[in-house]
């Protein structure tokens, strides 16, 4: 696997999509079983996903701006 900037963004989008699918499953099973622990897991997963996006997206945009500058 070649990990350049474009592939990194696509990889992170795929991870976010998988996390959203897991969240949907947690919410559905939590609702059907009447157990609120699934909703707590969703809260933590969303927190981790937001932190990941907050760290990676600015780093990617700085790399993009720096690569377009001329020496």
Domain ranges of the chain: 5-56
Report CA 25 to chain centroid distance, whole Å.
Answer: 16
33-60 pLDDT, tens digit per residue, is 998 898 898 999 889 888 887 877 776 6
Residues 6+ apart with CB under 8 A from 38: 26, 27, 29, 30, 31
d(CA 15, CA 26): 16
Q: In this predicted structure, what is the pLDDT of residue 63?
A: 56
Is there a contact between 26 and 56 (Cβ–Cβ < 8 Å)? no
Is there a contact between 59 and 51 (Cβ–Cβ < 8 Å)? no
pTM listed for this prediction:
0.66
């Amino acid at each position: 696997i070649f990990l350049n900037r474009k592939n990194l963004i696509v990889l992170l989008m795929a991870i976010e999509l998988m996390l959203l699918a897991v969240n949907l499953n947690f919410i559905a099973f939590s609702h059907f079983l009447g157990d609120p622990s699934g909703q707590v897991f969703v809260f933590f997963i969303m927190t981790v996903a937001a932190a990941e996006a907050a760290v990676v997206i600015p780093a990617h945009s700085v790399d993009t701006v720096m690569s377009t500058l001329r020496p």
